[in-house]
Structure 1
Amino acid sequence: MSHSIAGLPAASIPGAAPSTMSTLEIAELTGKRHDHVMVDVRNMLFQLGKGDPEFRGSYRTAQNKEAPCYHLPQRECLILVSGYSIPMRAKIVDRWQELERREQAPAIDLNDPAALRGLLLSHTEKVIELQGQIAQQAPKVEAYGRIADADGSLCFRDAANSLQIRPVDLKRYLVANRWIYKRPGTMEWCGYSTRLVTGLLTHKVATIPHDDGHDRIRTQVRVTPKGLARLAEDLALVAA
């Protein structure tokens, strides 16, 4: 059974074996009240046919009083948050991956000069490799920079071709990094106002005639030359 030390869940203690995650940490990561998480855990354990004492633990409150909590292994933790929102689930999954990386990372003896030299050498090699990758990307980035002030704009497909990536990958990047979005109930992409104000994107309005005699107004998001230059720089850093 994992217990807290100095008010921290056991999974948060650097160097400890994070085999469980406290309901305190789950509440903090998801933004839910701890007592609500406790209720969720009890309901989950009941439906799974598991005993409550198996996961029961305690912690010290800010008033130095002992209070109940639960410590869940990864399986039960992920089952619990499967009913939560996607952003909440993502935070829990990211936390487990971070804890697993800590477990897999080799321990470094800071009192061992040989270990410290090896660590420094490894870091230096990575820096040199990164500098080389950036240098390789520099000519391409500079070329995009020269057209940043040019006239005209590009659709997603043409912008993707210019950046030498697939259109679907470009759209995925633009969505993930808050360049574009879709309004509920529509299929058309819109640019975030911050990207429009800074001149990275622009909206092009077109009138499309229909067979019934009515015209349909369509708004198309387009990438400006300035936006293309910015994307080239950002994608170069991602690739590095």
Structure 2
Amino acid sequence: MGNLELIKETMSSIEIAELTGKPHNDIMKAIRVMEPAWEKVQQGKFSLMFKIRELPNGGHKEEPYYELTKTECLYVATKFNDEARAKLILRWEQLEKERRNGNFQVPSSFKEALLLAAHQQEEIENQQKQIEANKPKVLFAEAVSTSQRCCLVSELAKIIPQNGVTIGQNRLFAWMRKNGYLCNKGQCYNQPTQKAMELGLFEIKKTTITKPDGDIIVTTTSKVTGKGQIYFVNKFIGKED
């Protein structure tokens, strides 16, 4: 295609971290926190990608990162401090200036224009294929991001549907009882079974409440551990170990 070059239209969260001097994990957390509002307004999520990092033992690890448009970058930057936000804005201005000054060459013929259009369409299709292929990984990564704390079954019921697996709170409770993760009768109804506890999928929190008349009530709350969140997400997306 000669000297024709595609314009760089996105910036990765890795580049943003390097530019602003912030840890990449902090940038990822900021993006995840802001994504629900963006999805509600724009009817679409940010583009989550994965890169392969080689490990010292010879293995490899998939690490998530985001590819953001200029508009998405500036939206996320509203959470940054003034200095970091200024660096990001100036970097986008620099990229646009470089583009205007010749980094992007205008097609000199109809044939070159067609080739450029075909190349751009191919890039878009390849990116879409990667997004589709990564859907289960997206959900898995989101589950891992929540695994630092335990959550209620009702919260897990909100995590699972985020990437296409439809299930509500009541159906999830019923599924867990049917498959032997929660007790289905008696005083232990909806509490973890011995099997689930041995697998480390749940923890039980007991709260003591003293009533005005002096009576003491002990309430039991079942919470899904970080390991349990990943376990159940993998169950529903078909990525069991």
Query: Shorter-chain TM-score: which interval?
Result: 0.3 to 0.5
TM-score of the pair, normalised by structure 1: 0.38
TM-score of the pair, normalised by structure 2: 0.38
